[in-house]
């Protein structure tokens, strides 16, 4: 219970850094799930640099971007009501998701050392499939998230669900490596 109380204090007092840190940890964990369970790597074959890189993306990009985006949605669309929730989900899935997936795939490619030609090819090969899979999962998650969860805890809910999503992204972006 002390951990939950501390989390509540931190997320209220320092929402951006707290949510960046939780996104970093959970994104790194998603990569480890991909390496251990999906790719079935032996301990000696684990790529810890890859895990640190994924965690860094969570800390520096995913956490701050989602927290900022949810704050913008809350400020300009509102926080309560069925129509508000539907508008938020539509905005999230039509504007944020397509742009964020493109940015995320580009950053992962850059971190992996892809040149511009290879990066463009990977984006062409993977972007629409990942976006399509995004639409199978995230609208329902966001309906729940925006309807039931207060703003300060929305990133946490998304990052908990994103454990599976991050595992998928990590696996997908590391095929043929």
| Residue 77 predicted with pLDDT over 90 | yes
| Residue 175 predicted with pLDDT over 80 | no
| Residue 166 predicted with pLDDT over 90 | no
**147 and 85 in contact (C-beta within 8 Å)?**
yes
| Residue 162 predicted with pLDDT over 60 | yes
Of 163 and 171, more confident: 163
Confidence (pLDDT) at 67: 95
**135 and 93 in contact (C-beta within 8 Å)?**
yes
Measured distance CA(60)–CA(68) in Å, rounded:
12
Q: What is the pLDDT of residues 80-139, one digit of tens each?
A: 999 999 999 999 999 999 999 999 999 999 998 989 999 999 899 989 999 999 999 999
User: Left if phi > 0, otherwise alpha if psi is -120 to 50, otherwise beta: which for 14?
Assistant: beta
| Residue 177 predicted with pLDDT over 60 | no
CA 45 to chain centre: 25
Confidence (pLDDT) at 171: 80
**142 and 100 in contact (C-beta within 8 Å)?**
no
Q: What is the pLDDT of residues 43-74, one digit of tens each?
A: 999 999 999 999 999 999 999 999 999 999 99
The mean pLDDT of 21-25, rounded to a whole number, is 95
**63 and 23 in contact (C-beta within 8 Å)?**
yes
Confidence (pLDDT) at 174: 81
pTM: 0.90
| Residue 176 predicted with pLDDT over 70 | no
Measured distance CA(162)–CA(168) in Å, rounded:
9
């Amino acid at each position: 219970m002390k951990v939950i109380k501390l989390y509540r204090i931190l997320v209220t007092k320092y929402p951006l850094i707290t949510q960046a840190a939780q996104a970093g940890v959970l994104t790194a964990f998603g990569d480890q799930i991909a390496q251990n369970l999906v790719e079935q790597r032996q301990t000696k074959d684990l790529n810890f640099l890859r895990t640190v890189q994924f965690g860094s993306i969570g800390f520096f990009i995913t956490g701050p971007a989602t927290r900022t985006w949810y704050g913008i949605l809350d400020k300009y669309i509102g926080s309560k009501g069925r129509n508000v929730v539907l508008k938020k989900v539509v905005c999230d899935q039509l504007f944020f998701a397509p742009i964020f997936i493109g940015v995320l795939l580009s950053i992962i490619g850059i971190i992996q050392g892809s040149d511009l030609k290879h990066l463009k090819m990977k984006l062409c090969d993977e972007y629409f499939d990942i976006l399509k899979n995004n639409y199978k999962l995230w609208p329902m998650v966001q309906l729940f998230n925006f309807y039931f969860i207060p703003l300060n805890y929305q990133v946490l809910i998304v990052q908990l669900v994103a454990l599976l999503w991050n595992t998928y992204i990590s696996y997908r972006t590391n095929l043929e490596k």
